[in-house]
Amino acid sequence: MEFVLSTENLTKQYRDFKALDRLSMHVEKGAIYGFVGRNGAGKTTLIRIICALQRPTSGAYALYGRTHTEKDIALSRRRMGAIVETPSIYLDLTAEENLRAQYRVLGRPSFEGIGALLELVGLGGTGKKKARNFSLGMRQRLGIAVALAGDPDFLVLDEPVNGLDPQGIVEIRELILKLNREHQITVLISSHILDELSRLATHYGFIDSGRLVKEISAKELEAACRKRMHLEVSDVRALARVLDGRNIEYTVISDHEADVFGQWNVTEMTMALAKESCDVKTITERDEGLEGYYINLLGGGRHE
């Protein structure tokens, strides 16, 4: 198995605060790797380190098999494109002028390919329109175009759909899928917007307080996400007593709602609740999904 990025006990410390705490992760070639964590969990710190914007305190990381201390690590970084925090674009320039500027920075011998790149990100018809007059989604797509200017095969995106309207989110999603499937670009996406990430990712890494809690493929996640029955009852405390007596796992949602996991007999459960003077109002089958898995992974318990 070939890894585009791997880290080993990577640590970044600021005085008494550890932004990354012995983090070890593996981004497989060809993957869309969803890097999941709440704001402040360490996602951007990791991205800044692998982009050489910061140095790790200890530990190591490797890009395409080269560790960050090797002299030729720059050769691996040339295969990366990244948006860190916000797109790096000039607001007073057009989309084409922005790409020309980036081509000059990269030392590319000609501007050939700029038109095709603008078409790829959906900005082929913007003409002389300045970037300051672009929508937020258009600016984000221009930022991705700038990140693609060096023809990378590894793209790193830090919260790419933050603040976008629904149409902008769909456009970014479709672009990422196209880059991955048609252009074989490996993508690392940091995000805390789980619903959108679940539509994209082939692999996940869950980070909390600088530590990688879990790495899992989308297929493994799908298998691990348990189905549950959502019950609305007249008295959730009575429901809890019945479930505890049968050692059935559950999560209390409110005074009248709970999610119940595992296999159990609906008729027997209803009769047991009736003896507790508890009425069952509705029973609905639900899948746990990425959000539920994430919450349980980070310590969401049975009784809340």
Mean pLDDT by 10 residues, the chain (304 residues): 95 94 97 93 94 95 95 93 91 97 94 96 95 95 96 95 91 96 97 88 95 94 81 95 93 92 88 94 83 78 36
Write down the pLDDT at residue 194.
Answer: 87
| Domains, the chain, ordered by start | 3-223 (3.40.50.300), 226-287 (3.30.70.100)
Write down the pLDDT at residue 167.
Answer: 93
User: Which structure tokens are listed for 280?
Assistant: 């069952």
Using N-to-C axis directions, what is the helix angle for 136-147 and 166-183, rounded to 10°? 20
Listed in sequence order, the residues at least 6 apart from 75 whose beta carbon sits closer than 8 Å to its beta carbon are 66
Which pairing describes strands 32-36 and 203-208: parallel, antiparallel, or unpaired? parallel
Q: Is 67 helix (H, G, I), strand (E, B) or coil?
A: strand
Match 């175009």 to its residue by tokens: 145
Strand partners, 48: none
User: Which structure tokens are listed for 43?
Assistant: 């996602």
- The secondary structure of residue 132, as a DSSP letter, is G
Is the CB of residue 275 less than 8 Å from the CB of residue 268? no
User: Which structure tokens are listed for 50?
Assistant: 């692998």
User: How far, CA to CA in Å, does 198 sit from each of 27, 53, 154?
Assistant: 17, 29, 20
User: Which structure tokens are listed for 273?
Assistant: 């609740």
Phi, psi (degrees; rounded to nearest 5) at 50: -70, -20
SS3 readout for 185-250 = CEEEEEECCHHHHCCCCCEEEEEECCEEEEEEEHHHHHHHCCEEEEEEECCHHHHHHHHHHCCCCE
Write down the pLDDT at residue 304.
Answer: 33
